[in-house]
Structures are given as C-alpha cells and as structure tokens.
Structure 1
C-alpha cells in the first residue's frame, strides 16, 4: 500500500491535520519512534509545521522469542516500563529476566540518545499536543510505553499516528492515546513489512542523516504559530 515510509508519512499527515483541526488542537510536537518511525515522522512534522523530536523506546523481547514483545521500556529521568503480563506468563518469563532485559534495553537507549541527538535538547511535551509516530503497529508495546511516558510528562493531548495497525489492537490503544489516526486497520496483521514496497531496516547512519537533514531544514524555517491549518 505504501512505496516507502516517507510516502506513508505524507499520506498519514492529511487525515492527522484534519483531526487536529477538528479538535482545535494546536502547538503539536511530533515524536518519532526510531528507527522505522523516523522517515514517517519527518514527513508528518513537515506538513504540520511542527517540531520533530524522538521518544526513545525499546521492546523487551520474550525469552526464546525475541520478536515477541514481552513489554517495552522508555527513556526518561524515571524510565517507565510497560509489561504484557499475558506474554510474560505464556513464554515463561519471570521478574529477574525482565529486570535483566530492562537494563540491557536501557543501555541501548542511552547509546541511541547519544548517537541520534548528540547535544540537541529534547522538547518537553508539557502542555503540548504530543503526536507519537511509527511506521506501523504489531503488538503496540513500544507505542504504549511512549504514550504513557508523554502523558506522565504532562502532555495535554496524546495522539497516536501510524500508517497501519491491526483493528483488534486499536481499542486497547485508546487506553493510552486520546486520539488515534491510522490509515489501514486490517482484521488480521501478521507483519508490517508487506504493506510497504521498501521496508528495509534503517541503519544508525541512515537514521542520523535523516534527522540531521530534517532538523537543519526546520532550524532554517521561520517559526509559525503552531497551528495545524
């Protein structure tokens, strides 16, 4: 359905702008979930004339099944974790294993923060419309952690914007996001990749280059009043 993540971001921006305009929700900040969410979020932020930032979250894989999300942990002064208790029980996970995985993923978050942001200050969501963008949802674990963290940091409104997510997951996501914008919500979704012609795994270098280009463009653009229309 999408040529690549950038096209998905351009398509996603249109209904998102309409929804925010309906709600009279101004002054948004777009938070990308790296790495795959970065090119999507860049296009969304560009069309919203909104600042782009990162929300650093790592999935905690289940023991023996690293692709299955047992939970997720998000960066911050007090790192927050979301645990999928059903997956934890079904895969034989325990609290000690969860704690080890949490420490490991927090170390990776610290590495990414240094690499991706360098000395760039992050944007506080306090009193703002916080828009979390990814290239798609499968289990939703990382998005849940991101949304919970932004709400805990004082976001006035939390928005989840993704090109594709399973229909059955959206009801659960409404416990975390005040607003959800999704382009395609199939009844069954086994993987996000088939919805893209190009769904290559972004490297760190590619991610950094995309961010630097987007931030340089934004820094050179005169500020607006933060409205979405």
Structure 2
C-alpha cells in the first residue's frame, strides 16, 4: 500500500477540495479534534475562509491496551461507549470510570490551555464541520458528534481524509453530511495512509488556534 497523504497539510488540502465541491455556508464553523485533527482543520478553514476552533474529545482506551478505544468523552461530559467491545472484554463500570477520571482531568487542562481565555464557540443554529485526521472505530467522533448535537447546530458535517469503510457508512447515517477522501475496506490504522504522521504537540495546537483567532 502506498501512502496517500504526504502529511497533515496535504491531507487538509485534499479534504478542503472535497468540501469545496459541497455547499459550504459562509458562516460555518470548523471544529478540529485535538490534537491530530487541528493541523488538518486549519488547512480546511484557511482554504474555505472559515472560522476555526478546537473541540476537545479524549479516547477512552482499554486499560491494558490503551490504543484500543472502548469509547470516548467530550469536554462537556458527553460519553460514547462501545458496548459490544466492553462486553466482549468483560470490562466493568469501575474499569471504565478509572480511565474516564484520568481523561476528564486531561480534558479540563487542555480546554483551559487551548482556549487561552477565549469564550467557547457559538454552535447553536450554526453549520458545523467536524474534522479529524481519520476514523478507525470512530469512537472520538461519536462523542464529538453527540456533544455537538446537544448544542443544537443548524447541521453537522463530519469531514476526514481517511476512514474505514464501515465507519464511513455509519457516519453517513449519523451526520447531516459526511465528506471523506479515502475509504479503504482494510484501514490497517489511520497512520498507515500518511507518509508523515508525526505526533502533534499541545504547543502546535495552541499556535494554530492563536493564529486563527
């Protein structure tokens, strides 16, 4: 398999091209999921002339295999759980709560740092474009989408460079619109589709948001 995206900048440019083919409202707000989704969301926002903000979500990793998502939690407390996986692994509510408590602390810290005194973005009655660097199981995007729905946006577009095909089909049903560059049947991992999938730092996120404020 050849890498499709050189880096997040390239992925953002390709995603912006796909979004430009749809009807994008001039007052739409681009919300990037930290940390990896922010550089992509920045490119999308710049290319389409839209406002950018971060929407903080944290994966809830399986205790003994933290890269495997058993769910996710958004900054407003909205939680999504993969009940099928949790039952299969025989995880208890206590197992989930221990992980959730830790991630809630991280969310609180990041929300303060990333927002840097700025007010929370206005979401009600506004078109929202949720952006991440890719979807495997889609747990974090589930939590983000559910949390955004609670704030009554006009409509929500989920936009990513790459997504597993079954996950893409799921979000076509859940979101008002789903935009994706690539939908492989065998994803293998989001990073497999990037030549450079370097980790994004907190400082990079802060710098992006400050530049776009």
Same fold, judged at TM 0.5 (above) = yes
CA contact (8 A) 1:36 1:202 kept: yes
Q: Which of 178, 183, 195 lines up with 1:180 in the alignment? A: 178
| Distance in structure 1 (CA, Å) of the matches to 2:190 and 2:178 | 18
Q: Which of 163, 166, 184 lines up with 1:165 in the alignment? A: 163
Which string of whole-angstrom CA distances, capped at 9 and with x for unpartnered residues, describes residues 23-72 of structure 1? Answer: xx442100000000010000111122111011100000112111111000
Which string of whole-angstrom CA distances, capped at 9 and with x for unpartnered residues, describes residues 81-108 of structure 1? Answer: 0000011112221112212222211110
TM-score, normalised relative to structure 2: 0.94
- Superposed CA RMSD in Å reads 1.3
Q: CA deviation at 1:207?
A: 2.1
Partner of 1:120: 118
Segments ≥4 residues shifted beyond 3 Å: none
Counterparts of residues 1-229 of structure 1 (less than 5 Å): 1-21=4-24, 25-76=25-76, 79-215=77-213
CA contact (8 A) 2:29 2:52 kept: yes
TM-score, normalised relative to structure 1: 0.88
Unmatched segments (≥5 aa) in structure 2: none
CA contact (8 A) 1:63 1:91 kept: no
CA contact (8 A) 1:58 1:74 kept: yes
